[in-house]
Chains A and B, each alone.
Chain A
Amino acid sequence: MNVVIKRGYFLITVLLCGALLSGCWDSDELDELGIVVAAGIDKTEDDEYLLVTQVINPSEIATEAPTTRPPASTYSTTGKTLLEAFRKMTHKSPRKMYLSQLRLVVIGKDLAEEGIMQPLDLFYRDHEFRTGFYVTISKETDVETLLSILTPYEKIPANKLMHSIEAVEENHGSSHGITIDELITQIRNKGQNPVITGLLMEGPAESGTNISNVENIDAPTKITIDHLGVLKGDQLVGWMNEDESLGYNYTQGDINSSVVTHPCSEGTAGIEILRGDNNMGVTFENDEPSISIELNLEGNIAEIDCPVDLSQADVIQQLNQQTEEEITRLIEESIAINQNEFETDIFGFGDLIHRKNPKYWKTVENNWDEQFKELVVEIQVKVELRRKGSATQPITKES
């Protein structure tokens, strides 16, 4: 090709690059963003949304010589829609809220009882949110106070809460973190209702919001991960206690590691559950479904002060059986309270029936929660304690 034409094209390209690259509509400079790590939502008295955001204070996080300023700040506004509230926040905050790093959403108790689906729409729709954050409910405290509590050990309170949820899930199993997309799927699913993590504040609110809270070796005010809240559709209907929450997590196969305590003749034994798999099945008899839950767990003896001879195989067998009974009790209690009190299927039995017998499901899907109350559930737990740690006998036992 002609050299002149070639040069012409080159020139046009360079000019176009200059014209088009100089203006970036979507550029966001890091020092112009307020990085939101937690958001709290509740209803105000005049039926508007109350929005609280916890924004990290980068100069406190990234510095080697921290000052006495808190590592995070909270802002709160109200608005008829959440977007309005988010944008109004610029009245108070020097920076635009940046939402991609959101760790956790805390929903106020009153709003949760009214229904949470409506406010969640923005969190699912807006492109800035990613879908891995947890949704929780503040059990007693208002969200503004809860998000203003400074936490020891982890500087950013939202991070502390996220890690706590995960730690409970992995080591005790009495709670369960639910991310926004799981939550939305389950609310929309007729065959399974969601559970949601509860957050609890311990201690006085006044001292918790002050930096001195984290200057004590035992912080006077703490936020703890509580047990599971039960939703019917998108409305909070009640809370399970520790046993029921554990039972729920056993049925879902969400137990990574847990502890079972049970009394033996004169003392107690602590059993460490290491791993397990669960199997849920449904059988039909005369067109009536019945559910069977099968659990196979493996564990260790972790702590024991019963006067038993651990070298005997039948003693271990007995411990196996006692552990099985204990876990069965947890699951039974969990199912009972949901069938009788909350009347909501959080176990996904309906979903299981849908998967195995879609024809039958069509006939019951619209009043499934009623059917669920009458559902027969059979539980079979098999525990195998394989090891007893470094000690061969209870150390209280005389040899």
Chain B
Amino acid sequence: MPWTRRHLLTIEELSLAEIGQIHATATAFKKILSRSVKKVPALRGKTIVNLFLEPSTRTRMAFDMAAKRLSADVISLDGASSSTTKGETLRDTAENIRALGADMIILRHAAAGSPLYLSKFLDIPVINAGDGAHEHPTQGLLDTFTMLEHLGSLKGRKVVILGDILFSRVARSNIHALTKLGAAVTLVGPSTLVPHWFTDLGVKVSHDLRSALADAEVVMLLRIQHERQSSGHFPSLGEYTSMFGLNKTRASWLNPKAIIMHPGPINRGVEIDSELADGDRSVILEQVTNGIAVRMAVLYLCSGGQPESVMPATA
């Protein structure tokens, strides 16, 4: 089946087959990352613009790295240096970038739906690098890629996502990817941050950590933001940690082979004990590395590359 999508806006709109194609392409690219020359000419002559209108280090660097590994020219623009601070609209900024000859825009934006908005009037691919609390599709893809590496298949496997789900685009993208891949997903956290509405997305919602973690094979933690405290979503970070923080005792409730994941940045001692973050069940840094392979796959496919041509072209 050929890859036909030009934009990557959400995981919700991807088919299971498309997720499989991205993962397969990422597997091929991952091999390149362990070679001494970590570069292929796939996107030579193409210019990719990283338009990051919200702060990011990991995602932006990973996209940067992925584009460079594919030999594309990359320009990164952040919120502070862009004209949006001078009152320019997102449409005007994007159309100017297009007029400058960009072949692709990677957008990080605080407003949900903004990548879809750009894709409606731009004739170049738009890649969503996180839009508000909506989706962060490459994160969902790299997370499931990492899970698949460890578990082989996700069909019927118990995955727990723990933390601030309400405001998390990572959670939403993972929910869509995991449910398509057949995993049994449970969301856990304080009821203020894990509203019951999520059950409509085909997942379970729980506020009881013990039963949720029991026998889970994957636990994915999400960062708890200090601001949620002042907005009344929970009393204090201390109370959060005491109720929902992952520590050694609670980790013992998991399946013995379970992996611990976190999209970063982590708050040591808040959502996760330092020991666990650095422990041998933690795959947090593997996620970061896989993020490059997965993003290479996305940039490559959305530029018109085909999954089956990766290996011959790069061997």
Q: Do A and B bind each other?
A: no
